[in-house]
Amino acid sequence: MAELILKALKKVYTQAQSPAVDQLNLAVRDGEFIALLGPSGCGKSTTLRMIAGLESVTSGEIRIGNKLVNDLHPKDRGVGLAFENYALYPPLKVRDNLAFNLRAHGLAAKEINRRVDEIARTLQIQELLDLKPAALSSGQKQRVNMARAMVRRPSVLLLDEPLSHLDARLRVELRTEIKRLHAEQRFTTVIVTHDQLEAMALADRIAVMNEGVLQQFDTPLEVFNHPANEFVAGFLGE
């Protein structure tokens, strides 16, 4: 676990007229759970992908646990990712999907099995371990996706709209699950969502973004009761 700091982070895609993310400053405390909230296209996923190292940074700094990670390979950043479209490998059983990254890191087989079993218990997916992804429901896939992100014991857990493809009932159920897991494991967590209720329900603090620019970063209560500007008021008030 670690503190995550973004300093004047900026992303300009080639051929884009305006930055996707502009001068973003955020300090996420060790163990804190924050949400990046805003409408589609406001730069949430770009921010997350830069933190993960899947997207280059135009300028600014990303620090994890006080270490500058701008130039580190994604696998050396200590981040765990569960992305909306981050597909499981279809030919591999759930167990091997979970073990894949640990194997790539050269962990001993015994330790890998121990960790996979432990995370499977935590996320209550033990009975899925010997199935292949095609046999899973979308809710089960999301659980496995999250297990895969957590099994590496990341310093920072990054979730990009992990609940967006689920029906309302499952979404509420998994929300509760995520909340419980966070209380238990205290991963420093950044969740991306365009759903203000989800952000309010999950996050210690919410970073509201619009057109690549941070509008407000505060507790759900403050953001809701004392919006910094009209955009925040409008977006939360929907």
Say whether residue 85 binds ligand ADP (CB under 6 A). Answer: no
Q: Which one, 6 or 112, has the nearer CB to ligand ADP?
A: 6
- Which of Mg ion, ligand ADP, none lies near 13, with the C-beta cut-off 5 to 8 A by kind? ligand ADP
In angstroms, give the least distance from the CB of 184 to ligand ADP: 28
Is 58 a binding residue for ligand ADP by CB under 6 A? The answer is no
The least CB distance from residue 46 to Mg ion, in Å, is: 8
Nearer to Mg ion, 55 or 96 (CB): 55
CB 93 within 8 A of CB 171: no
Find the binder of Mg ion among 45, 97, 155, 193 (CB under 5 A).
45
Report 8-27 residues binding ligand ADP (CB under 6 A). 13, 16, 20
Task: State yes or no: residue 42 binds ligand ADP (CB under 6 A).
Answer: yes
Q: Which is nearer to ligand ADP, 41 or 74 (CB)?
A: 41
Query: Given the rule CB under 6 A, which residues bind ligand ADP?
Result: 13, 16, 20, 38, 40-46
